[in-house]
Chain A
Amino acid sequence: GQQLNQSPQSMFIQEGEDVSMNCTSSSIFNTWLWYKQDPGEGPVLLIALYKAGELTSNGRLTAQFGITRKDSFLNISASIPSDVGIYFCAGQRVSGANNLFFGTGTRLTVIP
């Protein structure tokens, strides 16, 4: 199945640093979502973006829906140890199909 190109694949950062990851696709999406997954658990929704150009924040997280509708980025400011996990972007295409296309994931390690 199609996957979105997500980078970087992994990151090792010091506690307190800012983090940035992004997702690109050759296809247009109507919705971009960012999820975090902890080991052995399902993905948990962090931020949902519904409009091209939209910039949305959720606490220390900020995400943007690219103007071309083919990309999105997620920033985490002032990282803390509990930010550790795998972050996935997901895109949803036009109305009429509820399936999500997922990025390959960014594994984040925060060093205290």
Chain B
Amino acid sequence: KAGVTQTPRYLIKTRGQQVTLSCSPISGHRSVSWYQQTPGQGLQFLFEYFSETQRNKGNFPGRFSGRQFSNSRSEMNVSTLELGDSALYLCASSLGGLHQETQYFGPGTRLLVL
């Protein structure tokens, strides 16, 4: 079974631009969560989507948004990019239950904001 895939793997943008990242979950998984990883803050939860609805949200500004499609694929968007948004963005998929779910991570999209 194919794992979680993320595209693109690398991205360079400039301040003020916006960016869209894509995540395809493991087949049969209906929940997709997004995380930001930086050297300073580590791995931090952004949000989770299940059945095309945002089910849970971390403590990030409104510039960070996401959506999920009917096939469970998810996108996250960052508008008005700042230098501090440079990070590895990871998505993780799980079956979608809320009890003792195991999340499987994709390889990430490395975003560099100049």
Contact = CB atoms under 8 A, between A and B. Distances in A.
Interface residues of B, number: 31
B22 interface: no
Contacts, number: 74
Given A42-B90, A42-B108, A99 B102 contact: no
A34 B35 CA distance: 16
A104 B42 contact: yes
Nearest to B45: A99
A101 B104 CA distance: 14
Interface in A11-58: 30-31, 33, 35, 40-45, 48, 50
A96 to B, nearest CB: 5
A43 B98 CA distance: 21
Interface residues of A, number: 28
B49 to A, nearest CB: 10
A42 B4 CA distance: 10
A101 B45 contact: yes
Interface of B: 4, 6, 31, 33, 35, 41-45, 48, 50, 55-56, 58-59, 90, 92, 94, 98-108, 110
